[in-house]
Amino acid sequence: MYKIIYMKADYEPWWKFEGWESTIVTENEYETKEEMDHALNNLLKEFRTRYDKEESREGKYYAFWTMDERMYCEACEDDIQIYHGIIVER
Domain boundaries of the chain, sorted by first residue: 2-89
Predicted pLDDT at 79: 94
- What does the pLDDT look like over 3-61, one tens digit per residue? 999 999 999 999 999 999 999 999 999 999 999 999 999 999 999 999 999 999 999 99
Neighbouring CB atoms inside 10 A of 17's CB total: 9
Over residues 61-88, mean pLDDT: 95
61, 87 Cβ separation under 8 angstroms: yes
64, 84 Cβ separation under 8 angstroms: yes
Predicted pLDDT at 82: 98
Predicted pLDDT at 62: 98
Q: What is the pTM of this model?
A: 0.94
81, 70 Cβ separation under 8 angstroms: yes
Chain CA centroid to CA 69, Å: 14
